[in-house]
Structure formats: C-alpha cells, structure tokens
A and B are shown apart, each in its own frame.
Chain A
C-alpha cells in the first residue's frame, strides 16, 4: 500500500474521535472507585469513633495527604500517556504531599517522647493496612490501566507506575477512614510500603499492557 493510499484511508476515518485521556481516565477511575467503595463498605467500614477522630489533626492529615498524592499522580499518569507532554514539574510536584508527610513525621518526633516512637510506628493495624490498601487499589488500577490503553505512553512502565501511585493513594485515602493508627510514623511506614507494592504492580502491568 502506498503512503498516499494510507493517508486517504486515515483522512476518511477522521470523523471518529475519542475522548481525551484527561476525561477518559477520571471517568474510568470513578467506576473503579465505586467498586472500591463497595469493597470498603462490605469488608471494612469507617472506624466507630470517626466523629471524634475527625476533630484531630493527625486523623485529618491522612486523607488530605493521600488525596494530594492522588491528584498529582492522576495528572502525571495522563501526561505520561501523551507523547511530548511536559512531566518534569509534575514529578517535582510529588514533593508537596511527600513534604507534608515529612513535616508531620518531624512534628510527631518532636512532640512525642522517644519511648513512644516504636509503639506508634508498629501500630495495631499494620497487616490489615498492607492487605487493604492494595485490595482497594486493585479496581481503581484496573480501570485506570484500561483507560490508559487508549493513550500513547512512550514509557509504558512509567505510566503504569503513575497509575499505581494514583490508585494506591485513592485506596489509602479511603482506608484512612477505617484505620485506627493516626500517627504519621505509622502512615509514613505502612501506607508507603503498601503504596510501593501497588506502584510496582502498576509498572509491571503497564510494561505489558500499555505498549502501542
């Protein structure tokens, strides 16, 4: 087939248009989130003392930090699937929620006696946290990867990793409503570990699924 012929066919197909990823990814993610919410309602549910907990800074910080991570990561995932789109400032933007978590950890270390550090870090719910966050993240990750397949990531593993970070952050924000461990020491350790697992899964899946 001559290139001329190909161009003719492509021009004839010009009317069919797909939604941009900045729309398609959040729509798909919302469907994934609905599944995650159902899982949360059935398997976990909010902690019984959520009304009083919501008045403490330690508790409120958790969903705020995770929400910030989710917002930066979802924009990053979209950009990584758009060839030639600038991403450097967004990657640097991840420092904002990470910095907030760092400040919270520092403040915790400064205000809590060192004998308490170990107990707060280990917490009471570590294993539930490590299982729940990846489990709640799974439907969001599947939906995000499905949407990203319409994209054109030059680095498929990177786009998959960003989708993993987004999914894990959404899941963590949700899980935070159940989790009884509010210490930033716990969050920085176990939430991060759970997130790393999901990011790795996203990168691996992305490398296979997001090639084009």
Chain B
C-alpha cells in the first residue's frame, strides 16, 4: 500500500486484490450471522474496496495498515447490514482475516454495483464501464468514446466517487 500511495499502479492493483481475498471470508461470516444471504457478501466486499479507494488519503503511512482497513471494513459491513435490514449488534471483530482464506469470487451475479452504475450520468458510466468491465487502456477507451484521455480520467474519478456516495444513500 505504501508503494501504491506513491503512485505505483501495479502495486495498488495487487494490494486491492490482496484485501479482497482477506475480506471475503470475514464479510460472509458477518453477513450470515446477521441473517442475510451469503450472496450479498461480495457486494459488501466491493463497497469496502470502493471506500478504501476513495478514502485512502485518510491512511497515514506512518501507521500500520491493518487497523485502518479493519475499521473501514467494520464500518461498511455494519452499514450494509443495517441497510439490508439484517440483525444489528453482531460482533464484528474478525471482518478482516489475518490469513487469506482460499476464497474465490462467486461467478455470475448481478451486483449492486451494476445497478448503481446504471444510475450514473452517461459520461461517467461510459468511462467506468470502458476501464473496468471492458478492461481498456485510457488511450483505447478515449479513442472509442471520442474524448480525450484527460477527460476520461476525470470522468472515471467522478464516477467512482459518485458510486461511493450512492452506496450509503440507498435505503
């Protein structure tokens, strides 16, 4: 994560994937204990990763990353459980696994993020879709969408920020 904060995109990618692996098991356990369907867990993992991204400037590189990630994961998990009408007050000490469990991402699902994506303004939606789902590079996506790379970067950033905001505003 320290490398990632210094602007190393590849390190950041690895770091986020590592977090997803560590989060999956604990989030699923918490969700099930709250009486919700295990299939909601991946939505919550995605929400946590989005929050990690949007709030990464609140991590002080002089501090260990563990407590920071754990606090975000707890906060987002409690929020998600409450929103879905699950049982509150579930103990959540272990949302982040210390050892990465061999957990795979579930294969085909219509995620909550997809529904949130559909509500984005067209430009931002196109940018997020091109980079995320199609896996295009900025230059390819910009050419395809008939815009500049800079504008695309801005649209992607705004789109992700809006996804993060709409997550907790859903009731």
A residues adjacent to B (C-beta < 8 A): 1-22, 81-85, 150-152, 154, 211-212
Contact = CB atoms under 8 A, between A and B. Distances in A.
B20 interface: yes
Contacts of B74: 154
Contacts of B101: none
A97 to B, nearest CB: 25
A84 B68 contact: yes
A56 B45 CA distance: 60
A83 B59 CA distance: 8
Given A13-B53, A19-B57, A152-B72, A3 B131 contact: no
Contact of B105 (A4, A12, A16, A151): A4
Nearest to A84: B67
Q: What are the 9 A-B residue pairs with the smallest beta carbon separation, nearest first?
A: A84-B67, A83-B71, A9-B132, A84-B71, A11-B13, A152-B55, A5-B132, A84-B68, A18-B57
A212 B157 contact: no
Given A15-B153, A83-B71, A3 B55 contact: no
B99 interface: no
A69 to B, nearest CB: 23
B170 interface: no
Given A12-B131, A84-B72, 12 more contacts: A3-B20, A3-B42, A6-B132, A8-B131, A9-B128, A9-B160, A14-B12, A16-B157, A82-B68, A83-B55, A84-B63, A85-B68
B68 A10 contact: no
Given A1-B114, A14-B12, A7 B68 contact: no
Contacts of A82: 58-60, 68
Interface of B: 4-5, 7-10, 12-13, 16-17, 20, 42, 45-46, 49-51, 53, 55, 57-60, 63, 66-72, 74-75, 105, 111, 113-114, 117, 128, 131-133, 135, 138, 153, 156-157, 160, 164, 168
B43 to A, nearest CB: 10
A20 B57 contact: yes
Contact of A211 (B4, B20, B168): B168
B9 A14 contact: yes
B120 to A, nearest CB: 12
Interface class of chain B by DSSP: helix
Contacts of B17: 4, 7
26 contacts: A1-B111, A1-B132, A5-B133, A6-B50, A6-B132, A7-B17, A10-B16, A12-B9, A12-B131, A12-B138, A12-B156, A13-B157, A14-B7, A14-B9, A20-B60, A81-B58, A83-B67, A83-B68, A83-B72, A84-B63, A84-B70, A85-B63, A152-B58, A152-B72, A152-B75, A212-B168
A5 B55 contact: no
Contacts of A212: 51, 55, 164, 168
Contact of A6 (B4, B5, B113): B113
Contacts of B53: 10, 13
Contacts of B114: 1
Nearest to A82: B58
Nearest to A5: B132
A12 B113 CA distance: 18
Contacts of B51: 152, 212
B64 to A, nearest CB: 8
B9 A154 contact: no
Contacts of B55: 83, 151-152, 212
Contact of B50 (A2, A10, A12, A151): A10
A10 B70 contact: no
